[in-house]
């Protein structure tokens, strides 16, 4: 799959998720088989970039390229300026967020709310593409509402504006994250334009990934919540698509090494205080895929020290290694 000058040998992408796809998680998912990763969304209001949250989101130190920064906003001029500033700071691909359904984003006519104003969509896309000399990609939903699935129309606008790749989540803004994702609209979008298309939504198993590839004709798969607590899902999908065979369950010792490395990188990136807090949600997701995982997540969430967190995880995995290997098939 190609994004401008960048060839992705593995057509599997990590979706941008606020509060999740920070630098430690992006690097972890790359190591586990993701061919493309996108940062958490950054506001187009550059005057707000001096906040601690924005500084963390804009930190790509040591990441391999191509570095993709997602911007969110509603004003074409501000979006263009934000794109140019991010490129000056090292971004190699700019991604535009028109897929987020969060109320605080949509209330400002940003994110997926933009899909109800197609002329404004065109203005924003044209302004951003003209402002930078790197590929610009776009993430959308199938439409604004269930009775207004205008994803095909938006895709045509994107193609005309010079967008290099389109990611489509198989729900409308109205759906938020409720119900099941649908892929018929993604298939219609793929048939309507010549852009590379990433299909996104409810892809949590290798079998589902293959179904979505075949049903939509998409060029790649974008994984979001399916990677919560399972960053190795990327290599499982990659292996299944290549061979038609499932990878054996990950041994507990290897899973422990992955989790501990993730913990260490969170503590290092955010510092001991914030790192401990950010580690809690990730550990809750890891625990969902472990036998009696609540016996880990409950005490873990009460800890306030990085060394204590690490020690508790090691002790829990030490116990799991005495259990049958079938326990780690999730």
Task: Give the catalytic positions in this structure.
Answer: 100
- The total number of residues shown for the chain amounts to 330
- For residue 126, the surrounding DSSP H or E stretch is helix 118-131
**Dihedral sign for Cα atoms in the order 53, 59, 60, 61:** negative
Half-sphere exposure of 14 (CA within 13 A, CB side): 35
Long-range (24+ apart) CB contacts under 8 A made by 231-234 are 231/25, 231/28, 231/29, 231/32, 231/258, 231/262, 232/32, 232/33, 232/258, 233/32, 233/204, 234/10, 234/12, 234/14, 234/29, 234/32, 234/33, 234/34
Please choose, from the candidates 62, 89, 194, the residue with its C-alpha nearest in 3D space to the C-alpha of residue 71: 89
Residue bearing tokens 């892929």: 183
- Give the chain's radius of gyration (CA, Å): 20
Whether omega before 169 lies within 30 degrees of 0, making that bond cis, reads no
DSSP 3-state of 111? helix
Q: Are 72 and 42 in contact (CB under 8 A)?
A: yes
Return d(Cα 71, Cα 330) in angstroms, integer: 34
State phi, psi for 3 to the nearest 5 degrees: -125, 95
Return d(Cα 221, Cα 207) in angstroms, integer: 12
């Amino acid at each position: 799959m190609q994004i401008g000058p960048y060839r992705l040998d593995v057509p599997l992408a990590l979706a941008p998720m606020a509060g999740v796809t920070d630098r430690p998680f992006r690097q972890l998912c790359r190591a586990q088989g993701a061919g493309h990763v996108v940062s958490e969304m950054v506001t187009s209001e550059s005057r707000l970039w001096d906040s601690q949250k924005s500084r963390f989101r804009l930190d790509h130190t040591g990441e391999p390229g191509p570095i993709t920064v997602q911007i969110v906003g509603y004003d074409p001029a501000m979006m263009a300026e934000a794109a140019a500033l991010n490129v000056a700071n090292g971004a190699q691909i700019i991604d535009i967020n028109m897929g987020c359904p969060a109320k605080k984003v949509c209330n400002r006519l940003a994110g997926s709310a933009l899909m109800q104003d197609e002329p404004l969509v065109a203005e924003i896309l044209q302004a951003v593409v003209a402002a930078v000399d790197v590929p610009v990609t776009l993430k959308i939903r199938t439409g604004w509402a269930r009775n207004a699935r205008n994803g095909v129309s938006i895709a045509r606008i994107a193609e005309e504006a010079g967008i290099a790749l389109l990611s489509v989540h198989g729900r409308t803004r109205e759906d938020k994250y409720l119900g099941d994702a649908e892929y018929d609209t993604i298939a219609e979008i793929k048939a309507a334009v010549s852009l590379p298309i990433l299909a996104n939504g409810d892809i949590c198993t290798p079998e589902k990934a293959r179904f979505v590839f075949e049903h939509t004709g998409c060029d790649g798969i974008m994984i979001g919540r399916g990677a919560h607590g399972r960053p190795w899902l990327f290599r499982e999908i990659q292996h299944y698509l290549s061979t038609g065979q499932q990878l054996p369950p990950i041994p507990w010792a290897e899973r422990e090494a992955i989790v501990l490395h993730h913990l260490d990188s969170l503590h290092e990136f955010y510092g001991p205080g914030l790192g401990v807090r950010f580690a809690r949600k990730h550990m809750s997701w890891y625990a969902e895929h472990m036998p009696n995982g609540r016996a880990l997540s409950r005490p873990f969430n009460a800890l306030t020290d990085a060394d204590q967190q690490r020690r508790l995880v090691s002790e829990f995995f030490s116990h799991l290694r005495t259990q049958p290997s079938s326990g780690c098939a999730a």
